[in-house]
Structure 1
């Protein structure tokens, strides 16, 4: 409706303009015709009234008048035609402007159509790309399930690997920590060495005291209460026994480095690690903490690699296929124009993959990417993806400081 009104208005303006132009052209033509006819009319009129008229030259004075009159007509005609020209030019300019506006509108419409066509093409391409991705993705998921079925024992096999890694660490790590501890102790000066050996001496006899006197006469809760009293110096019988032990130490070991070395060499440090003896010296506490709470990553890698190498022919294919599935997810571009939407799609498919893994499989994958040389590329692929998120059972960690490794996989800003 608005377009029709605008078109009607433009037509009226065009007709009005055409009328003015025609009127001015006619008026200008009349003035030009008047200017051309005027000399002949005057000649005809004055010819009979001039005495002694022989030639047109006898009309010189009248000619001057005619010239002035003709010029006026021609000037008026020029002005009128100039106005007509201006009006025509204005009309042409308006027509040009309208043409340009129409062209701009057509261009905008073409651009809009092209943009819509591009969006439709993108939607079509994205849909096809996603369909191709999903076909490959779910085929690889099926392959993963088949690989798992081919592993003898299936998911139970990973529990065996878990136990093997734990045993391998305990064996290698205990020897490592024990040798390191003994070397560090024996590296102390004789005075500090004496204080450490004295505490070890007391700890061992305290354990014997608890075993011989109390362990068979109390329930677990009562035993724990008695043990707390002994440790805190509230058990008078133990305090008396401790004085005798210190006297023995002074007599047999004090300030004798060879005796110190022999005594340390005979100690079973597993009693400290297993919790049978509570370490009372700071040096001993650090030894137990390093073993239990802050084990060295290299020792963990050695333990895991030794077990992985034994079972690579069984689980190597399993982890390689998982790597390829994650790589497929990470390399696909679901939405190139919206990074947030793209990441949400990737997270959805990572979640589908994770849902295929049991708790023990997920935990062993965590160990594979963290402590295996061949898992380094896999680890880099999972960086900042929250792949493990809160799905790992922390109480099942072989090493307490494993949760520190989770920071690498955590999504920044989450």
Structure 2
């Protein structure tokens, strides 16, 4: 109730003061004439208006007072009206501010929704491209062909060929060293092999050097190791070629392997490097690297889950020993998912592979 009275009161006062002010103006105008008419018959010796001098002063004072009162009432009315208008303007401004704030909030919400929609579309586009690339790579792997081998068997054969090339280099160096420095021990070795079941050298005439050299060069030390032939020379070869494998010989072997298998595996390797580049250059992996997070490692997990153990090893050797792929060796470290998946049982050069892979994983001797 009181709130309604407060709202109506200024309006009432405006009207009251306005009416009073307006009424006082004609009253002030008429007041001199009314007083003259009243006192005209009551003042002695009144002939002209000048005889009303004292009365005039009174009338003047009265008129001014009325006009002043009228001015005050009208001024009050104006002040109240202005206050009312100011309040109305203030309310309009407050309403405008509220509307502006609401508009800003709506714009911010719209911006956030647009950003979310944009991020969703980007991720959907990224995932569509990624899964298409993985599918294409899987199809390319199934289509691999070399001689009579298909698919993953080509990968297995490639690893065996790489290992064979390394053996050929290591065996050649080892055998040349013995033939040059200790020929007599080679003769004794050839003579002793039939007792270990190696019968292909049984017919060798050890008195003829050409036969000894030919038989020795044809010997496959891997077969002797497999058959557990007890010989100092076999143990020395095993130590030379495998226990302390030579990385420079591995480099030579891979170079020969790369030349021979380029036509077979080039599209396969190109497919892998394209996918790794795509992931590494994506804003999602870059964001993880900047923030130290692993929110997007699922894509690499999906990719590597498509690889067979033999494929994993072949990709490692491709990154490690191909001179143009040092970048790939580093990119495969991301999220530490690739190198820990390499199975030790498939290491072709156990001591060297173990050392290099542990370094890539970040394992030290103290760990």
User: Quick check: 1:120 aligned with 2:108?
Assistant: no
User: Quick check: 1:40 aligned with 2:10?
Assistant: no
8 Å contact 1:178–1:269 — kept in the other structure? no
Cα deviation digits, residues 21-48 of structure 1 (max 9, x gap): 2222223223333322322222222222
Deviation at 1:366, TM superposition (A): 2.2
With over 3 angstroms needed to count, the CA separation of the structure-2 counterparts of 1:406 and 1:72, relative to structure 1, is same
With over 3 angstroms needed to count, the CA separation of the structure-2 counterparts of 1:155 and 1:338, relative to structure 1, is closer
TM-align CA RMSD: 4.1
Within-5 A mapping of 1:194-205? none
Within-5 A mapping of 1:111-190? 111-152=104-145, 153-169=150-166, 172=169
With over 3 angstroms needed to count, the CA separation of the structure-2 counterparts of 1:164 and 1:336, relative to structure 1, is closer
User: Quick check: 1:23 aligned with 2:16?
Assistant: yes
Cα deviation digits, residues 29-75 of structure 1 (max 9, x gap): 23333322322222222222222323322222222222222222233
8 Å contact 2:339–2:357 — kept in the other structure? no
TM-score (norm 2): 0.67
With over 3 angstroms needed to count, the CA separation of the structure-2 counterparts of 1:322 and 1:345, relative to structure 1, is farther
Deviation at 1:117, TM superposition (A): 2.7
Unaligned runs of 5+ in 1: 180-203, 217-267, 276-287
User: Quick check: 1:63 aligned with 2:17?
Assistant: no
User: Quick check: 1:363 aligned with 2:327?
Assistant: no
Deviation at 1:339, TM superposition (A): 8.8
User: Quick check: 1:400 aligned with 2:354?
Assistant: yes
Aligned to 2:273: 323
Q: 2 CA distance for matches of 1:143 and 1:167?
A: 31
Unaligned runs of 5+ in 2: 177-184, 197-231
Cα deviation digits, residues 314-373 of structure 1 (max 9, x gap): 111112112222333344446999999997563222221111111121222122223323
8 Å contact 1:329–1:346 — kept in the other structure? no
TM-score (norm 1): 0.61
Q: 2 CA distance for matches of 1:339 and 1:71?
A: 89
Deviation at 1:293, TM superposition (A): 6.5
Aligned to 1:93: 86
Q: 2 CA distance for matches of 1:33 and 1:273?
A: 135
Q: Tell me the secondary structure at the aligned position of residue 53 of structure 1.
A: coil
8 Å contact 1:21–1:87 — kept in the other structure? yes
Q: Which has the higher contact order (CA 8 A, sep 6+)?
A: 1
With over 3 angstroms needed to count, the CA separation of the structure-2 counterparts of 1:101 and 1:344, relative to structure 1, is farther
With over 3 angstroms needed to count, the CA separation of the structure-2 counterparts of 1:59 and 1:309, relative to structure 1, is farther
